[in-house]
């Protein structure tokens, strides 16, 4: 069977982001002008009152990924790639065989002359999202179904998060579609652990935002802790790591966005009440550590790599992302280039979240600032994609730091799109009364231009760079 990634590589190149940007401008400009001067909270309340009716924007968000990958859904094509064929599918196929025989998939004899399947955090033996692969029928077809389901999970999560932030449904639906169908996410389908982490990230923010607004933050915190632990044990360690990091950054923005010191202190107390139960997460995840402690030392992979691979993460179910801040993990210059660029990503992108969150809550009149910041960060990140036009620029410090994006470039994108989105939406809907009230037409044009840069660079330029990842 043919691989769909090869067929869609040309479709998802640079033009995707530009098309998204143009559609966004044409569609939301009209909405902005019609709602200019209106309070978004009124629009949100109207939406709540109409909640009993069918939300056609949500329906569109649900069916768009299915239509986009219809050949895979109906079984004409399958997802393929190096990691998919040599790691993701073999691990999950072995889990399927073991569970059907009533056995625990502790040891996989078919990989690396023996492999600790249950301990390998990429296997996701108990990951709920793998349930489709255990259903009767063709395994490869169900694998494709699982991928599309995760695209729907990401889209609906982002749509829900945007609505909770009092954004209009059309804009929420558009950003959700951009989030779930951007080439950056699609080309990481081959790295299933990274792919699932991006799909689940919006739901972390939904849960955390719900906890901040509820009267029982500790109870919601316990629910979040169990969710994080389940993700760790299931194999989506990236989702747990990125989720905690995103929540921490979101909390900082939420606290500093309060009006005065009294409300900031109250917000800080509530944030601590929500996050404190999450300390139980590693203890719950330790259930997977104990039965696999010795198995990892027996594998060929662990012996050849001097056990560094397992000591830094896999059998401990500590995210391998932890090696980003554990410099002994850097074994050669190539690792230094990869991890060094990743450290830059993790160090810069949270500022985008904090800035956009503060701008959203305080409704700063100079809304071009978070938008400009997002555009600059996106442009810098594109240097790491080795795009043809940026090859020479990427050799000049400090842009050379971003040249070697490695596999962790998705971290920056995961943060950038959902966290810069409030600033973007604020310009076109909530911020319309600010942008279009500016008398200087050059400033208006500058704001529109920055929006095009952000959306087009995230959507289109990233797809070109992914051809080298």
413: buried, middle or exposed (CB in 10 Å: 19+, 13-18, 0-12)?
buried
> Cβ distance 237 to 320 under 8 Å?
yes
pLDDT, tens digit, for every residue of 203-229? 877 888 888 877 788 888 888 777 777
Q: Which residue's entry shows tokens 């991928």? A: 147
pLDDT, tens digit, for every residue of 109-164? 766 666 666 656 566 777 777 788 888 888 888 988 988 998 999 889 888 887 88
> Cβ distance 172 to 56 under 8 Å?
no
For residue 371, pLDDT beyond 70 = no
> Cβ distance 327 to 345 under 8 Å?
no
269 vs 230: which has the higher pLDDT: 269
Rounded-to-integer distance, Cα 96 and Cα 127, Å: 12
Rounded-to-integer distance, Cα 408 and Cα 238, Å: 10
The four Cα atoms 410, 416, 419, 422 give a dihedral, to 10 degrees, of -140
- Which residues on neighbouring strands pair with residue 101, listed in sequence order? none
pLDDT, tens digit, for every residue of 301-316? 444 444 444 333 333 3
From residue 132, how far is each of 70, 140, 141, 231 by CA, in Å? 17, 10, 9, 17
pTM for the whole structure: 0.60
374 vs 325: which has the higher pLDDT: 374
> What confidence category does residue 90 fall into, taking pLDDT thresholds of 50, 70 and 90?
confident
Rounded-to-integer distance, Cα 202 and Cα 208, Å: 10
> What confidence category does residue 242 fall into, taking pLDDT thresholds of 50, 70 and 90?
low
pLDDT, tens digit, for every residue of 419-437? 444 444 444 443 444 445 5
Q: What is the mean pLDDT of residues 379-406?
A: 45
Angle between helices 368-383 and 333-362 (to 10 degrees): 170
> Cβ distance 122 to 193 under 8 Å?
yes
For residue 459, pLDDT beyond 90 = no
For residue 95, pLDDT beyond 60 = yes
* Residue-level pLDDT at 401: 43
> Cβ distance 272 to 238 under 8 Å?
no
Rounded-to-integer distance, Cα 250 and Cα 205, Å: 8
User: Left, alpha or beta for 124 (phi > 0: left; psi -120 to 50: alpha)?
Assistant: left
């Amino acid at each position: 069977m043919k691989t769909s990634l090869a067929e869609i590589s040309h479709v998802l190149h640079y033009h995707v982001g530009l098309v998204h940007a143009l559609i966004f401008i044409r569609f939301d400009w009209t909405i902005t002008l019609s709602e200019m001067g209106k309070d978004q909270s009124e629009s949100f309340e109207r939406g709540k009152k109409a909640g009993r009716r069918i939300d056609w924007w949500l329906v569109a968000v649900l069916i768009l990924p299915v239509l986009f990958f219809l050949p895979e859904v109906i079984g004409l094509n399958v997802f393929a790639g190096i990691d998919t064929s040599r790691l993701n599918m073999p691990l999950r196929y072995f889990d399927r065989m073991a569970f059907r025989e009533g056995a625990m998939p502790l040891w996989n004899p078919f990989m690396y002359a023996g492999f600790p399947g249950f301990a390998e955090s990429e296997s996701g033996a108990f990951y709920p999202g793998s349930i489709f692969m255990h259903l009767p029928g063709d395994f490869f077809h169900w694998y494709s179904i699982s991928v599309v389901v995760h695209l729907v999970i990401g889209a609906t999560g982002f749509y829900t998060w945007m609505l909770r932030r009092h954004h209009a449904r059309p804009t929420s639906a558009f950003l959700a579609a951009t989030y779930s169908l951007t080439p950056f996410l699609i080309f990481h389908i081959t790295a299933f652990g990274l792919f699932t982490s991006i799909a689940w990230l919006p739901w972390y923010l939904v849960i955390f935002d719900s906890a901040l607004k509820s009267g029982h933050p500790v109870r919601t915190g316990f629910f979040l802790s169990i969710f994080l632990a389940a993700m760790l044990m299931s194999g989506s360690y990236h989702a747990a790591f990125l989720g905690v990091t995103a929540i921490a950054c979101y909390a900082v923005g939420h606290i500093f966005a309060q009006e005065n010191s009294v409300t900031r202190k109250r917000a800080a107390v509530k944030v601590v009440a929500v996050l404190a139960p999450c300390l139980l997460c590693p203890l719950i995840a330790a259930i997977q550590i104990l039965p696999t402690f010795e198995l990892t030392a027996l594998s060929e992979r662990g012996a050849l790599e001097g056990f560094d691979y397992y000591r830094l993460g896999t059998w401990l179910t500590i995210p391998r992302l932890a090696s980003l801040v554990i410099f002994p993990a850097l074994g050669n210059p190539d690792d230094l280039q990869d991890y060094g660029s990743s450290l830059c990503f993790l160090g810069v992108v949270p500022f985008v979240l904090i800035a956009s969150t503060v701008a959203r809550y305080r409704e700063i009149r100079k809304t071009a600032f978070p938008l400009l910041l997002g555009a600059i960060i996106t442009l810098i990140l594109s240097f790491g994609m080795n795009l043809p036009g940026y090859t020479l620029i990427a050799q000049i410090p400090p842009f050379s730091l971003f040249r070697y994006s490695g596999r962790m470039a998705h971290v920056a994108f995961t943060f950038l799109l959902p966290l810069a989105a409030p600033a973007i939406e604020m310009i076109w809907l909530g911020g319309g009364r600010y942008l279009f009230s500016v008398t200087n037409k050059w400033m208006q044009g500058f704001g529109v231009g920055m929006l095009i840069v952000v959306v087009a660079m995230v959507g289109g330029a990233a797809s070109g760079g992914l051809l080298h990842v």
